Chains A and B, each alone.
Chain A
């Protein structure tokens, strides 16, 4: 059995002080193993985004332990957390979050600048990443010249370019129509299966969660369900009957 890549042990995240205390996460345990494709679901305010931010080292647990590849992240300082993001994580956001007036190629190169790669190496890696997401020929387009689906592909290429272990996708299809959403999901599944990249995705759409191999459903800061994608069960059942 593979060791857990991401491990939450009794993780709580509490906002505010005293009377106004709100527990976004109220002591949560789960593990994600390398190579998994996990959809994190739940209504708004259920703690799914907080969990995602903690996985991405953008937020710290108030108590409990978050370990990445066996290392306790809470003992790392801000710079070390930045290094962890830089070398092991890739982010994909709902709103794409590309730099405006900057070409697709330059957007994809951006994470590599912080790794100190030479210009030529960055170019090559960015071309490769864009090819993987099917955007060959669009390298020199700026975001405003690309469709939403294409912009999200650029964002995925940007997450991919640093060869991360994990891609964290926060509602990656939230701003896209159904057709484009399915294309993006198929791309993520392919990256998961072909490249072996672990994917953790926040979504509220059952249809998208069905692409994942495992669903974790949050409710009121606790895990309400953790197992095989439910919607996948119903979908596969619908094929049987």
Chain B
């Protein structure tokens, strides 16, 4: 009987394809948007966690410019010097400190070129920022001291310049420098903002200062903390040293800032979570609207099929069987909507994920939940029309034109 009723519902639905499609459209859109948003949201939070992990050890970033500005314009504060890095590296709470200066440059190999970011730094930079070598070696002490033309390249640069060939031992040209490739970084993938983290070339900072920027400025200092240092104590220590070195009077504001990138990223992941939740609840509302759409059409359907209901009652259907018929029809409709919605949502999520360069993370539980939700929508919004059908007076129903 139950199976029969499902067949009957399917036949009724297929008999009026356009109307059935329009009926389930609301559910399709609702389920698809919930699935797409939740899947993309989960992908991006997976991405954020991966990013937090890839930031490596406990690290603080020191930049010129007033605090509270975040990474941004420097409002005329003086740059650091290499001496500042050395002074910080000698402090008890700081394990190592790396200077960095970056410039956008074009790297050329043969007749291919790649617009990328050249960062002058030292070998400590890799450990502090969570980079690992895929192959090759780090800068030697003498290369760092002398500012030798040696580079370690990111995966994106390798792909653009060398294709499938090995880059090690090759010479690339950056501005007028011929630079030997000594190492290749392990790929990190996209960053928190969808930026390509692997699009970079590392060189000894003295080489970059002398031959690319033409000054002795250091833009950023990355300080790796000792295992027992807290962010607060290390920040205080850095502020003391830097205020002294930059001769900032008591009562005057810092002209540099210390950022904890990990905190920043965690905060960002919180925002991502809130945004996903918000968008998902809006999508949930569209599911509700879809449910009302189903109820609307089912009510019309009951009115239209009044005679049919009368016939069924006359030939021996009980009120409960008529109720079951219409309820199952509503549930089958909304489940079909759910099925299309899940498929559409996963496709949207896959496309969206690849656009935003985040992992595509479909979740069986979310899909199952969406189905359960679709069924509940069908039951809740199908019940009222079904009850209306079951309560019809057979005489009136048979007389209905």
Contact = CB atoms under 8 A, between A and B. Distances in A.
Contacts of A116: 1
Nearest to B390: A78
Interface stretch (B270-278, B315-323, B349-357): B315-323
Contacts of B315: 85-86, 90-91, 110-111, 114, 158, 162
Contacts of B398: 58, 93, 97
B395 interface: yes
A86 B316 contact: yes
A101 interface: yes
Contact of B314 (A56, A79, A99, A101): A56
Assign chain A's interface to a size class. 20 to 34
Contact of B316 (A97, A101, A111): A111
Interface string A86-106: 110111010001010100000
A195 interface: no
Interface string A131-146: 0000000000000000
B308 interface: yes
A113 B1 contact: yes
Nearest to A101: B15
Interface string A63-78: 0000000000000001
Which residue of A82, A87, A90, A162 has the most chain B CB atoms within 10 A of its CB atom?
A82
Interface in A116-136: 116
Interface string B1-37: 1001000100000010000000000000000000000
Contacts of A101: 15
A97 B4 contact: no
A59 interface: yes
B395 A53 contact: yes
| Main secondary structure on B side of the interface with A | helix
A85 B8 CA distance: 22
A82 B318 contact: yes
Nearest to B319: A78
A91 B395 contact: no
Interface in A176-203: none
B307 interface: yes
Given A56-B314, A58-B394, A58-B395, A82 B4 contact: no
B320 A79 contact: yes
A97 B307 contact: yes
B311 interface: yes
B4 A91 contact: no
A102 to B, nearest CB: 9
A82 B313 CA distance: 7
21 contacts: A53-B395, A58-B394, A83-B316, A83-B318, A85-B315, A85-B316, A86-B316, A87-B316, A91-B314, A97-B310, A97-B311, A97-B314, A99-B308, A101-B15, A113-B1, A113-B4, A114-B1, A114-B315, A114-B321, A115-B316, A116-B1
Interface of A: 53, 56, 58-59, 78-79, 82-83, 85-87, 89-91, 93, 97, 99, 101, 110-111, 113-116, 158, 162
